[in-house]
Amino acid sequence: MAGAAGSAGTGKIQVKLLVDNEKSKVVFAESGKEFVDVLLSALTLPLGTIVRLLGKESSLGCFDELYKSVESLDASLPNQGVQEHAA
């Protein structure tokens, strides 16, 4: 079992992990409320924001490519072929 030591005053969060070394998978994680709060707040961010904050090569694989594709879209593309009607 491995863990990250820390205390409330240092800005570190303690997390204990039980790892299956053969499969390189986390089997169990134990932590306090602070870690859960940080994790859940990160999950509320849009993926585009995460990729942009981490940089163009965020190691998120397909999300990098998806973000680059959306970023390079022509802004007028969604409006092509759409006619406005007066109400």
User: In the chain, which stretches have pLDDT less than 50?
Assistant: 1-7
Which pLDDT value is given to residue 49? 78
- The predicted pLDDT at position 5 comes to 46
d(CA 64, CA 57): 7
pLDDT given at position 28: 93
Is pTM beyond 0.75? Reply is no
The predicted structure's pLDDT at residue 1: 44
Q: Are 52 and 60 contacting, i.e. CB atoms less than 8 angstroms apart? A: no
b/e burial code for range 47-83 (CB count within 10 A of at least 16 → b): eeeebeeeeeeeeeeeebeebeeeeeeeeeeeeeeee
pLDDT for the residue numbered 40: 80
